[in-house]
Structure 1
């Protein structure tokens, strides 16, 4: 039977989306429709314009996130499910719970204006981060093998948050007071489009850290990730009480978190390259790895240059085979790490390793030929 590179790289019998992913996307789609109906009821204007403005920055933001995912790309169906969860399930849960908290607790206690502020500063950060982070905990439970380090957690967390922020922005733009739509777009679409991704990325880092720990030591990093996300979200929402100074300080905190995540991404990329250099030489005797291959796999730049050279001299098919080889080599190196940490049993290790080696051998025969 012909090899299915997509299935082998995903670690599944076929490349078709799993039942769990299909169900998640379907449920999220229904929740999205219900959430939009709730959010836009009662006085929303210019809904079409609001949708266009909410979607406008999305391609650039998605491109930025996916650019971080080049060394070991995540399965597209899992990324779609994460985005859909944020846009549908998380938005609906947050809308219902935040509205209930405002109507039943904060408004009767503090009045209309202070009740809105309390909801935004106290209730919303907890509810929204829990709703977004639930799918990341689901990944930790059901698809832990996809979480090979903090980069994966940041990618999935950001995808969930982008889905959430896009739908949330539709409601903000649709209810913007007359004459303030442009300012609302500048504030939410240009000045602070990374608020939700930064918050939920912290949960992702915690979940990904937990995925590489034994079962009894997974709770603390997840809790720490949630606490960091809620704190950052709450500081940003509460900062408006201190005027421009408060907003400026909250913005600086967000920049600090962004820089910190950048450092984490850089170190994780170096760690992955180190794993490739450490574990792949043992397969030289099988003919699937040579010293030149290790040099080619040593950075994103050398990988890209190799693909461009093969594409220009041999065509798109061999270039695609080289891309499969690069990803399979990276997956194999990270498999060795999980095995070394005792997270993969012997038979599971062999069942995952052998198809990757088979794919590497076939792919190498194509792009070297």
Structure 2
């Protein structure tokens, strides 16, 4: 039976469907449909306007988030699940719990409605929303730890969750704003002033989860996700609470958020350099078997060089050769990260790691053979064919 390279690159056993992810996508989609149906019924014609406006920030920021994922792309189905979790599951249950919290404060006459809204927004909603958004990241740490190869992966998944949550939440805000003739103000605040609030907050949890995924058994693995979650809640609470203090409060919260964003950019830049160093350190081990050359290392260590290699493959052998080059690049990166993960953690299954290593080597060999075979003449590129056999199926 032919082995599917996409399954290997997604970290799945060949021939096994991603049942858990599929079930999660279906469940999250149902939750999203429920909350959108409620908005449509209560908002009437305003719902269409609110939905379209809520999609605008997503159209701007989603490509930028995915651009961070070019060196070691995450499985598309996992990214879709993360987005739908935020847009569906987290948004639906957060809406229910926040509404119940407000009702508890106002109906028991503990506070007035306006003060109740402020208390829920400042102290209740940040906890509820960040915990719900973090749930999918914590579940990945438990069941899909191999997908979290560093801070960049944590930020990518967290940002997808945050963008999904913000999109659904914005629909509700824009529909309500249309009813009170405040759409312009709310749109500026939600889509222009603070479009990255949810992705930025949840990214703190994502970094904590990624640190735990890379750590061996011990205190760091247990505490890093909690510290990340507490940071997300604190930043979210600071932003929501600042609204009571006018422009001064907003400026202060914005400054703190900007500092967090700068720190996160530095972390992502250092993580990219770390991955390049892993490629340069581990992949020369495969030079003797013929699947990695010095030119390959230079190509794999640079995003512009990777793009140039894909263009070369497409011009030489069409889309199929370009796809093969893409698979080669991703498999090589995953192979370097697999070596790093095996060396850093003592609680992983050695047999499983070795099987995954063999599969990745096989993908590299098959990809090379494919785009070389598509050349009209004997290969003159730095990427030559090899004779590595595919690993045995178990």
**TM-score higher than 0.5 here?**
yes
Distance 2:334 2:160 in 1: 21
Tell me if 1:116 matches 2:120.
Answer: no
Residues 6-155 of structure 1: matches in 2 within 5 Å?
6-14=6-14, 18-38=18-38, 42=42, 46-105=46-105, 108-155=109-156
How much has 1:38 moved relative to structure 2? 4.8
Contact persistence 2:3–2:14 (CA under 8 A):
no
Residue 56 of structure 1: how far off its partner (Å): 1.7
Q: Would the alpha carbon gap of residues 294 and 322 (structure 1) be closer, same or farther in structure 2, given more than 3 Å must change?
A: same
1 CA distance for matches of 2:283 and 2:16?
29
Query: Is the CA contact (8 Å cut-off) linking 2:39 and 2:47 kept in structure 1?
Result: no
Summarize the alignment of residues 219-368 of structure 1 with structure 2, pairs less than 5 Å apart: 219-341=222-344, 342-368=346-372
Structure 2 CA distance for partners of 1:184 and 1:208, relative to 1, 3 Å: same
Q: Say if 1:299 and 1:15 are closer, same or farther in 2 by CA, change over 3 A.
A: farther
Name 2:216's counterpart in structure 1. 214
Contact persistence 2:11–2:147 (CA under 8 A):
no
Decide whether aligned partners of structure 1 residues 32 and 194 sit closer, same or farther in structure 2, where only a CA change above 3 A counts. Answer: same
Question: In the aligned structure 1, how far is the partner of 2:39 from the partner of 2:210?
Answer: 32
For residues 42 and 170 of structure 1, the distance between their equivalents in structure 2, rounded to whole angstroms, comes to 12
Specify the alignment match of 1:174 in structure 2. 175
Please list the CA deviations of residues 1-27 of structure 1 after superposition, one character each: whole Å capped at 9, or x if unmatched: 434220111121347751111111111
Per the TM alignment, residue 186 of structure 1 is displaced from its structure 2 partner at its CA by 1.6
Closer, same or farther: CA 17–170 of 1 in aligned 2, 3 Å: farther
Asked if 2 retains the 8 angstrom alpha-carbon contact of 1:87 and 1:163, the reply is: yes
The whole-number CA distance in structure 2 between the counterparts of 1:201 and 1:105 is 31
Q: CA deviation at 1:254?
A: 1.2
Aligned position for 1:187 = 189
State the match for 1:203 in structure 2.
205
2:166 corresponds to 1:162? no
Give the deviation of 1:315 after TM superposition. 2.0
What's the Cα RMSD here? 1.7
Is the deviation greater in 117-126 or in 297-306?
297-306
Cα distance in 2 for partners of 1:339, 1:187 equals 46
Distance 2:170 2:94 in 1: 14
Contact 1:86-1:163 within 8 A present in 2 as well: yes
C-alpha displacement of 1:367: 3.0
Q: Shift of the alpha carbon at 1:271?
A: 0.3
Unaligned stretches of 5+ residues in structure 1: none
Q: CA deviation at 1:321?
A: 0.9
Q: What stretches of structure 2 of length at least 5 have no aligned partner?
A: 373-378, 380-394
8 A contact 1:44–1:175 mirrored in 2: no
Change (3 A) 1:113 1:45: farther
Q: CA deviation at 1:49?
A: 0.4
Q: Is the 8 A contact 1:31 1:89 kept in 2?
A: yes
Write out per-residue CA displacement over residues 72-117 of structure 1, whole angstroms, 9 at most, x where no aligned residue. 1101111111111111110111111111111113662121111100
Check whether the contact 2:86–2:163 (CA below 8 A) recurs between aligned residues: yes
TM-score calculated relative to the size of structure 2: 0.90
Q: Does the 8 Å CA contact 1:40/1:171 hold for their aligned counterparts? A: no
Structure 1 residue 40 displacement after superposition: 5.9
